[in-house]
Amino acid sequence: QRLRELARRQMDNAMKPSNQEKIKLWYKHNDLKGERPMFHLEMWTFAQEIIPPMLTCEDSWARNIEYQFFLNFLNQELFDDDKVTLPTYDVGYDTWFTLFDIPVHQTFGKDANGQDTLGQHFESVINDLEEDYPKLKKTTYGTNMEKALNQKAVLEDIFGDILPVRLKMDALYSVPTQMLIHIMSMENMMYALYDYPELFKEMMDRISEDTLEYFDFLENNHLILPTVSGENLGQGTWCFNHTLPDSNTPRPLKTTDVWGFMDSQETVGLSPDMFEEFIFPCYKKISQRYGLLSYGCCEPVDPIW
């Protein structure tokens, strides 16, 4: 009953004329014909301060669904920013890409309640690139579509008559330098650029090749879904556009049919020449596999352009 109540609430918000107008503005914005800047207050950064007191479900699975419902429409109700409430409950499928088959290890700072919320530290596995290079194994990747389909079926049975449940794929996300510092730290990455330039280039080339192999895996298993109607893009934006193929396309989609996102916040301290020599070849090779590219997050991108 609680989840059906929230499904109605989301659909009501989605159908409001003001919400429909925001969808039109996002289409214009992504066509580079925007009438004004689009504003999004990213509530996920502080949702833990707002949502938990609103939860009433007791079962942990149901509470997760309930939590997601609030993420879907609370921006509209509380802030009236430009985040759109969609007329669907979206279910993504689990997919993973473990660079060089090295698990990321991180530790957290605890707050006054003993919760891991105050910060994070990534533990280096690669300290000296030449000495530790044998640790760079073949990248592993995969997906669990069965879990997503089961989740979709259960949710459809609960509230599908009120709010359609959609299987969706967000923009294809590739952030090589972020993955690197998660296994070797910012300092070690910067030293490696200077100490082992050729080995670093070889490592970046391996990242691009492994990423393209992963993209081939997604294509060959027909896991590429449209990115045209409100899927997450990155930087707090969404994939509204009329340029790329939609769900009516009578053929399996390829990566060149969808939106991709990349950034390289970790190399903000590199000169343009060093970025061009060491980082850009990898990024170019990956980005050419996208239909549309959204580039950059918190770093200034004018030096790259």
Residue 234 has pLDDT above 90, yes or no: no
Nearest alpha carbon to residue 237 among 79, 50, 74, 25 = 25
- Confidence at 51, pLDDT banded by 50, 70, 90: very high
> What does the pLDDT read at residue 233?
94
Residue 279 has pLDDT above 80, yes or no: yes
Q: pTM score, two decimals?
A: 0.92
Residue 48 has pLDDT above 90, yes or no: no
- SS3 (DSSP) at 98: strand
Residue 117 has pLDDT above 80, yes or no: no
pLDDT in tens, 142-182: 999 999 999 999 999 999 999 999 999 999 999 999 999 99
> What does the pLDDT read at residue 165?
98
Contacts of residue 149, Cβ cutoff 8 Å, sequence gap at least 6: 93, 167
Q: Are 47 and 78 in contact (CB under 8 A)?
A: no
Residue 229 has pLDDT above 80, yes or no: yes
pLDDT in tens, 54-106: 999 999 999 999 999 999 999 999 999 999 999 999 999 889 999 999 999 99
Q: Are 79 and 6 in contact (CB under 8 A)?
A: no
- SS3 (DSSP) at 262: strand
- What's the chain's average pLDDT? 94
> What does the pLDDT read at residue 235?
85
Beta strands in the chain (DSSP E): 89-92, 94-98, 106-110, 116-122, 140-144, 165-168, 172-173, 232-234, 237-238, 259-262, 292-295
Query: Phi, psi (5° rounding) for residue 167?
Result: -80, 125
Average confidence (pLDDT) over 204-220? 98
> What does the pLDDT read at residue 254?
97
